C-alpha cells in the first residue's frame, strides 16, 4: 500500500472493447490508497462507471495516448483537484466497497425481504 500511496497518479489501462468484465481489482486498491486514478477505458465499461460513481478519477478513451497524456498533465497541473479525486476514491472505498458497507447492504436486503413477506 505504501508504494501506491507514494504515487502522484495511478493508472488503470484497459484494451479497447473491454466493457462487460468486472472492475479490475486493482481499482479498489487504488481507491484505498487515496490517489487520483486515470482510467484508460471505453466509455461504457464497468470501470468507467466505477470511476464516474466514485468521482475518484478521470476517464480517457482506451488506446488514446494523447488523451492519456492530457489527463496526466491536467492532474499534474492541479494539485487541489488531484487531491480531491484521491479523497473521493478513498471515501467511495470506505462507504461503498468496504466489508462493513457490504454487510450493511446485505442486512438491509434481508430486512426488506422479510418485510415484503409480512414478517
Contact 58, 51 (CB under 8 A): yes
Q: Edge to edge, what strands does the sheet with 37-40 contain? A: 10-13, 37-40, 57-60
What is the pTM for the complete model shown?
A: 0.82
Please tell me the predicted confidence (pLDDT) of residue 22.
63
Please tell me the predicted confidence (pLDDT) of residue 38.
98
Domain that holds residue 69: 2-116
| pLDDT tens, residue by residue, 8-57 | 999 999 999 877 666 778 899 999 999 999 999 999 999 999 999 999 99
Please tell me the predicted confidence (pLDDT) of residue 105.
64
Site of grid cell 442486512: 107
Please tell me the predicted confidence (pLDDT) of residue 103.
59
Residue 8 sits at the vertex; the CA angle it makes with 47 and 58, to the nearest 5 degrees, is 30
Q: How is residue 16 written as a grid cell?
A: 479497447
pLDDT at 104 over 60: no
The confidence band for 106, taking pLDDT boundaries of 50, 70 and 90, is: low
CATH number for the domain that contains residue 9? 3.40.50.2000
| pLDDT tens, residue by residue, 47-89 | 999 999 999 999 999 999 999 999 999 999 999 999 999 999 9
Please tell me the predicted confidence (pLDDT) of residue 47.
93
Q: How many domains does the chain have?
A: 1
> What is the rounded average pLDDT for all residues in the chain?
88
Please tell me the predicted confidence (pLDDT) of residue 35.
97
Amino acid at each position: 500500500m505504501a508504494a501506491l500511496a507514494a504515487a502522484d497518479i495511478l493508472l488503470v489501462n484497459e484494451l479497447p472493447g473491454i466493457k462487460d468484465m468486472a472492475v479490475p481489482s486493482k481499482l479498489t486498491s487504488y481507491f484505498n490508497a487515496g490517489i487520483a486514478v486515470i482510467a484508460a477505458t471505453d466509455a461504457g465499461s464497468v470501470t468507467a462507471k466505477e470511476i464516474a460513481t466514485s468521482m475518484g478519477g478521470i476517464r480517457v478513451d482506451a488506446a488514446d495516448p494523447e488523451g492519456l497524456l492530457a489527463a496526466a498533465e491536467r492532474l499534474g497541473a492541479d494539485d487541489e483537484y488531484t487531491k480531491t479525486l484521491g479523497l473521493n476514491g478513498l471515501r467511495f472505498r470506505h462507504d461503498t466497497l468496504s466489508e462493513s458497507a457490504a454487510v450493511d447492504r446485505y442486512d438491509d436486503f434481508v430486512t426488506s425481504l422479510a418485510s415484503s413477506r409480512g414478517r
